[in-house]
Structure 1
């Protein structure tokens, strides 16, 4: 084959994401990376209760501990994208594993409240933020058509593993005590290095497909319209290795053609601030994640105050987790069908289910009805958690996914700092959980209302543009 023919072959083919193969190993890496960071998160109160009393932390400082940890997680997610400009995803995953494990093991040396905030709040929080953003970013790089399937697989496995956290923690505390349990947590977190080993650069597994006329039309439309972000090829976040074949080295060069390489760290993306940060695609999930987490923290206490015994409370929490797991499994089996509806529409539907189920719990007096509503609340939690990376991936170009997800995580942390104390103050002033529940339901209602209006506006605007183009051609 002549050099000219070889050039024409490369010209008529495009490099796309593998959508399988080693990508499923990446899903396993993401499961290890996230689940180890969050396995004992829901049981930290039981783990540190006696230890916090020993170092002099009062019960009213529990909110501060949660706030420091949440903001550190958001900060870690936001710093992921700038740091990826300096190092590969694999190296940053390695660093995040070291940071998180240092935060776990150093708790054994803690003797003051300030040191506890550093170890548990800042170090573990930043490591967890890095792990989440990196895992979602590399899954986004490896999958395009099967993205919902990959994300659902990862989140389902994470939810199943997290269900093992509380009984494992209870057994470890009974057998080894507090310090032995911390050593066990440290040993588990070291296994994150398996995830580091599995995180191959996506450039090693890209595949070449023949380009079509429709693809060329999409490329032309993208050049003429900057708002188009759905061209079916992938931009690599940052490869950290050479391509497997010498002949494939031209792939990296072709992918870099036409791109402006920026030196240094870009802390703020002004384009995303104007388009993504101020839209419901960013504000909606950020607010939904915050109020969903706050509700999960409040409703067990409300059931206990209402007179539910420990067995009934344990049943309620189990049903909540079962509903969450059912929704994640449904996403796996129905991913091909659900993708036809659009990620934003699915997310609004999940928030709507959360609103209706929470209001149903407030207005129901039958314990059986409340238990049924708890299952539905768990399903809405699954939808709100799983669909976030998919919503972001469909809203921004793939090379800006990590930045956009970091912005969303940072906004979630800021909302926690602003609205969290306000809802806590309402609970204290009213001496009841009812007003707090209605405030949470109001947040869900605001998301559904404004996001639905935005979707209708965009859909009508798209129809108007199509009609205008048709009239111009005619």
Structure 2
């Protein structure tokens, strides 16, 4: 029997809006805009001709379908729930780390050790969290960001709880420094990774909002830590803080994998083959869904499907041809699935724990060393800031309040700069602006020892919080500018590994300065010097890029 396969008999709608398709039962199915479509439905007709009625393949030639790749990132929708979860996780992790200065004073009072030895507790915790960044990235790729955050929550809570039973400072190195640091690492990196996956055009704003939780945590948690230590003593305080760490599991539940998100959206469109009867003609409607791109296969998730109905008019009396076409299209769907499975297997084999080849990119390598020095200075500054305030004659409560002020401006800086960096006119200058922020932070570090009043510290720390929040929140944006979003997961793990090295030696070296000179002024001068060096390292490549784009 003859079957018409001309392009004129095929109706394909290429709009991005959802289509409302009516099947023979009168039901409606929505076909979403984020899927891929076969541009020429004659390819499906040719595919049908390659199979006989039994479903056996008759053609030796390979069938190729031309596909249009959709944007990988949803850029909204459930992405804002991801931002909420990441922001809450940053609130807890960042708030606890910004409380290191308060804890430093508590450890000094309890164990009566040197500033350098005591600073190792907070330094180890932050360093372990950051150095294990590649492992956290690998764990997220191997399982999911959701699994990583929930696992990290349990481990971190265990480490903090055990810290309450310590009787020697060296024991804190293991419980609070190592165990809690491992947990925080698994909960920290995946939050930024999955935020970068869910957003593209508004990535700067999304990352800024996600990391703004650090500012909120800095505002809320340091005064709370000071309060619970006064009310519940050493053990009771750590029991409460371990409960706070368990709340990271709630944040992890919100981290829906992008691949799962797309499968949920396309549930009604996967592997459907329907016969549509309309006005005395028989139409075949096929939707073929399969995973797309290496990113989708590796876990970031994306799907492709034939977006719109591919209607092939047939003689309504020719039901044999109907059956033949149905069998052919079912075989086509199976072939796509089989190819997809092979691709997934190959991708898993190629997956690496850490891609050190990324360090061959000069700009990325220089950025890593620059942020290493920045982190060493920044971590030491927040560790010794409460001690500096107390040494000026103010109370420990005032010292904790100073950190809260920094937290408010930290939040504003993260969101505001993230919003500004998304403007097209600002994007080409954001690497330069990002670099200049480092020199501004260095200037504040040099001025800190000169201030003696609460009002002066409040103003200075507000500026310090705004600048550091702006810098830290946009590091993933700079990575994307250098390497591209497809390398974000692996490169971010390497970057925070460098940060971990800086966090490891920054506070102890600054504490050594205090032990040698007897006051905290030299510690902040040391921090300012490291910050200047960090800016100078990154300034050369930034200017070179501006001259030779």
Report the counterpart of residue 91 of structure 1 in structure 2: 147
Report the counterpart of residue 499 of structure 2 in structure 1: 412
**2:239 maps to which of 161, 179, 183:** 183
Report the counterpart of residue 439 of structure 2 in structure 1: 352
- CA distance change for structure 1 residues 257 and 323 in 2, over 3 Å: closer, same or farther? same
> Within the alignment, does 1:448 sit opposite 2:535 as a pair?
yes
- CA distance change for structure 1 residues 108 and 245 in 2, over 3 Å: closer, same or farther? farther
String of CA shifts for 1:424-467, please: whole Å, max 9, x gaps.
333333334444333322222223233222112223333xxxxx
Report the counterpart of residue 365 of structure 2 in structure 1: 279
- Provide the rounded CA distance (Å) in 2 between the counterparts of 1:252 and 1:372: 63
Any conservation in 2 of the 1:75–1:126 contact (CA below 8 Å)? no
Any conservation in 1 of the 2:121–2:177 contact (CA below 8 Å)? yes
Report the counterpart of residue 41 of structure 1 in structure 2: 97
- Provide the rounded CA distance (Å) in 1 between the counterparts of 2:338 and 2:526: 51
1:244-323 → structure 2 map (5 Å cutoff): 261=347, 263=349, 266-275=352-361, 279-308=365-394, 313=399, 316-323=402-409
- CA distance change for structure 1 residues 238 and 295 in 2, over 3 Å: closer, same or farther? same
Distance apart, 1:289 and its partner CA: 2.1
1:333-412 → structure 2 map (5 Å cutoff): 333-337=419-423, 339-361=426-448, 371-412=458-499
> Within the alignment, does 1:437 sit opposite 2:497 as a pair?
no
Any conservation in 1 of the 2:298–2:347 contact (CA below 8 Å)? no
Question: Please, what is the CA RMSD of the aligned residues?
Answer: 4.0
> Within the alignment, does 1:104 sit opposite 2:160 as a pair?
yes
Distance apart, 1:145 and its partner CA: 1.0
Distance apart, 1:164 and its partner CA: 1.5
- CA distance change for structure 1 residues 263 and 381 in 2, over 3 Å: closer, same or farther? same
In terms of fraction of residues, the more helix-rich structure is 1
- CA distance change for structure 1 residues 439 and 252 in 2, over 3 Å: closer, same or farther? farther
- CA distance change for structure 1 residues 52 and 427 in 2, over 3 Å: closer, same or farther? closer
Report the counterpart of residue 197 of structure 1 in structure 2: 253
Give the unaligned 5+ runs of structure 1: 209-232, 463-474
**1:4 maps to which of 32, 43, 46:** 43
Using the size of structure 1 for normalisation, the TM-score is 0.77
Any conservation in 2 of the 1:348–1:451 contact (CA below 8 Å)? yes
String of CA shifts for 1:280-328, please: whole Å, max 9, x gaps.
3222222212211212223443343344466765664444333323312
Using the size of structure 2 for normalisation, the TM-score is 0.68
- Provide the rounded CA distance (Å) in 1 between the counterparts of 2:131 and 2:500: 8
- CA distance change for structure 1 residues 261 and 398 in 2, over 3 Å: closer, same or farther? same
String of CA shifts for 1:184-215, please: whole Å, max 9, x gaps.
3333333322223221121244599xxxxxxx
